[in-house]
Amino acid sequence: MRIFIIQRISAIALVVFLSLHMIVVHYPPGHLDFSRVLERLDDPLWKAIDIAFLVAVLSHALAGTYAVLTDIERVTPMKRILAGVLVVLGIIGLAYGTYTIISFQPPASLLAAH
């Protein structure tokens, strides 16, 4: 039942984040160029939004993977191992993605040119 709830909550979060992404990145008022994207990636608020988006994607994908794989009879006896592997993959993905987002620093020359 927890997997079902995680799937539903993360799906709602994905709809919100994907809508925000589409509005901000693909339908901006005016011209969107690389320097404006770099400005957004340098903003702490956008970094927080990107990390929340990453959490939603990872939890949705890994919970869905678990649900699909446990439907296979041969995998069912290994539920705990599968859950452990997916949790470890999620932690690694979250750590790597968060590190990448937080440590991103756009080149000063590109920001100064805008």
CA distances from 82 to 23, 70, 96 (A): 37, 9, 21
CA 93 to chain centre: 9
DSSP 76: G
What pLDDT is recorded for position 18? 93
Give, in words, the CATH class of 2-113.
Answer: mainly alpha
| Per-residue pLDDT tens over the stretch 9-29 | 999 999 999 999 888 888 877
Q: Where are the domains of the chain?
A: 2-113
pLDDT of the chain along its 114 residues, tens only?
A: 788 899 999 999 999 999 998 888 888 777 777 777 788 888 899 999 999 999 999 999 999 999 888 888 887 788 889 889 999 999 999 999 999 999 988 777 655 655
Contact indicator for 66, 3 with CB cutoff of 8 Å: yes
Considering only the C-alpha atoms of the chain, give the largest distance between any 2 of them, rounded to a whole number of Å.
59
Contact indicator for 86, 66 with CB cutoff of 8 Å: yes
What pLDDT is recorded for position 100? 93
What pLDDT is recorded for position 101? 92
What pLDDT is recorded for position 48? 95
What pLDDT is recorded for position 62? 95
Distance CA(76)–CA(102), nearest Å, equals: 38
What pLDDT is recorded for position 17? 95
pTM of the model: 0.83
- 10 Å CB burial of residue 32 (0-12, 13-18, 19+) is middle
